[in-house]
Copies of this chain bind each other. A is one copy, B any other.
Amino acid sequence: MIIRITDQPIDVQELIAEVSNESNGGIVAFLGVVRRWNDSPNGSPREVYWLEYEAYREAAEEIMREIAQQIEEKWAITSIAIAHRIGHLEIGEAAVGIAVGAPHRVEAFDACEYAIDTLKATAPIWKKEAWERDHQTGQSWVENKAPL
């Protein structure tokens, strides 16, 4: 199991390899990537220049371990890898990578989606966004939308 906060680029191949074994017929991987256009607080999109991620590292890793444990309890899945990057990220770079392997694909999809939803809602990780809109620039802490 990989549970990692890192300032290095996320290697999805490594995450997938970690959850691959003879019993797992389905592997689902998720990458959360910095995109150029993001919604501003009033809903209209603004251009993003870069993001700066910071984490309460020990607590975030503990939360990620708890997510892995919940997934084991819910789906009996133990093949899971979660890596979150911190520091300066440019457009197109992955901030988070998750891979889940399971005997059958339905559980792998469900568990992977559960992992990213729960991580985004609970892990003590923050991002500051450098943006421009209508010739105005700024830097703002961006919070995740609450799940619907």
Contacts and interface: CB of A to CB of B under 8 A. Distances in A.
A115 B127 CA distance: 32
Interface range on chain A (Cβ under 8 Å from partner): 20 to 34
Interface string A10-46: 0011001000111111111111111111100000000
Interface in A80-100: 91-92
Contacts of A91: 22
Complex copy number for this chain: 2
Interface of A: 12-13, 16, 20-38, 91-92, 103, 105, 108-109, 112-113, 116
Sorted from nearest, which 6 A-B pairs have the closest CB atoms?
Answer: A22-B36, A27-B31, A25-B35, A29-B29, A109-B113, A28-B30
